[in-house]
């Protein structure tokens, strides 16, 4: 065996060993994928403010890091705190006097029974609801605990990635397997895609809240501002999104006897509130990151199935990364 052949064999064995160890690490830490992706997203979003505070305002890195972490915690948790306050304020009167809620359920049940032959209050329905609660409640508790754990891990990871963001950025630019200018283009494309999708998530939630408030006000929903804000908050949930709010409001309106406003609210929710997410998402992606709408569509679709909630952001990012790497490999082949 020649020295050249031996050297190639050692390199291949080393590469195989690295891949195996990498797969083991990935499988072991997969439960933290949400925390890692969340920290990466916040690092991209906060790196510019951090660098301004440290290098222009001359703040100490630790102070700047603590300030931005504290601001992130408030911005992330405060909307959920407001939502919990609202939910509690609505649940407390029901607990104190459940009769009005039972009357409303009876109204909805009567309407569904007369119109569609669906009896929500049958013995079978009660059993189905009981089984659903029995299976769902432990999942919700477990999901809440996992979310809290992931949030803590995300903040810990963010502390190190944010304070070392320039080092990480420089390492990526010099260690990707292309020329320096090509590496810079790839890193920039990925960062812009993450930034546009992350910022776009909050902008789209605000836009959908405004669109929902207008619709709820037009079609006579009680407390349209409150329900509109809730619609904006739940819009970040993949697949279900705003439908979790406007559909029950529409059904309740129809069951109350205001049939036409209820139907119109359902149509408004489906065509206007629902489609506003896609329309404005395309506009934002094109404006901020110059991303083609088809990349956003297919990225979100496969991203949600792969990564759940974070797929809304990282589905398009992976599409952008795939195209960028393909372009660089093609350019390298031509050269």
- Over residues 305-315, mean pLDDT: 75
Q: Domain end: 175, 199, 232, which one?
A: 175
The string of pLDDT tens digits covering residues 23-63 is 998 888 887 888 888 888 889 889 999 999 999 989 999 99
Q: What's the mean pLDDT when you consider all of the chain?
A: 79
pLDDT at 168 over 80: yes
Is 1 part of any domain? no
Q: Domain end: 142, 175, 208, which one?
A: 175
Could you give the 3-state DSSP secondary structure of residue 220? coil
pLDDT at 301 over 90: no
pLDDT at 10: 80
Q: Are residues 167 and 197 in the same domain?
A: no
Give the residue ranges of DSSP H helices in the chain.
Answer: 3-28, 33-51, 61-96, 99-116, 123-163, 165-175, 180-218, 224-234, 243-255, 259-268, 274-284, 293-307, 311-334
Range of the domain at 47: 31-175
Is 22 part of any domain? no
Residues in the chain: 335
Q: Are residues 168 and 231 in the same domain?
A: no
Looking at residue 273, what DSSP letter applies? Answer: I
Q: What sign does the dihedral 5-6-9-11 (CA atoms) show?
A: negative
Q: Are residues 152 and 235 in the same domain?
A: no
Q: For residue 199, name the pLDDT band (cuts at 50, 70, 90).
A: confident
Q: Domain end: 137, 159, 175, which one?
A: 175
Q: Are residues 196 and 296 in the same domain?
A: yes
The string of pLDDT tens digits covering residues 87-145 is 667 666 766 776 666 677 777 777 777 777 776 666 666 566 556 655 655 555 555 55
Q: CA separation (Å) from 224 to 80, 187, 216?
A: 19, 43, 5
pLDDT at 329 over 70: yes
Is 19 part of any domain? no
């Amino acid at each position: 065996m020649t020295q050249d052949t031996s050297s190639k064999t050692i390199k291949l064995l080393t590469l195989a060993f690295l891949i195996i160890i990498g797969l083991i690490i990935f499988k072991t830490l997969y439960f933290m994928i949400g925390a890692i992706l969340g920290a990466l997203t916040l690092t991209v979003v906060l790196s510019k403010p951090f660098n301004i505070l440290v290098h222009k305002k001359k703040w100490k890195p630790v102070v700047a890091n603590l300030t931005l972490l504290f601001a992130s915690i408030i911005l992330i948790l405060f909307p959920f705190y407001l939502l919990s306050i609202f939910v509690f304020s609505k649940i407390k009167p029901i607990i104190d006097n459940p009769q009005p809620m039972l009357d409303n359920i009876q109204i909805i049940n009567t309407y569904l029974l007369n119109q569609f032959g669906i009896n929500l209050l049958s013995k079978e329905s009660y059993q189905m609801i009981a089984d659903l609660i029995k299976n769902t409640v432990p999942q919700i508790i477990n999901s809440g605990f996992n979310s809290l754990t992931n949030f803590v891990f995300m903040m810990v990871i963010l502390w190190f990635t944010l304070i070392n963001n320039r080092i990480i950025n420089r390492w990526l630019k010099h260690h990707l397997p292309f020329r320096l200018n090509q590496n810079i283009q790839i890193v920039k494309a990925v960062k812009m895609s993450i930034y546009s999708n992350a910022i776009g998530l909050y902008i789209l939630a605000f836009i959908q809240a405004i669109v929902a408030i207008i619709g709820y006000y037009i079609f006579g929903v009680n407390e349209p501002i409150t329900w509109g804000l809730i619609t904006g908050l739940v819009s970040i949930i993949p697949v279900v999104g705003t439908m979790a709010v406007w559909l029950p409001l529409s059904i309740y309106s129809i069951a109350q006897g205001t049939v036409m406003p209820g139907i119109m609210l359902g149509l408004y929710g489906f065509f206007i509130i629902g489609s506003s997410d896609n329309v404005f998402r395309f506009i934002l992606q094109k404006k901020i990151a110059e991303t083609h709408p088809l990349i956003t569509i297919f990225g979100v679709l496969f991203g949600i199935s792969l990564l759940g909630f974070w797929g809304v952001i990282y589905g398009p990012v992976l599409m952008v990364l795939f195209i960028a790497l393909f372009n660089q490999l093609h350019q390298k082949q031509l050269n």
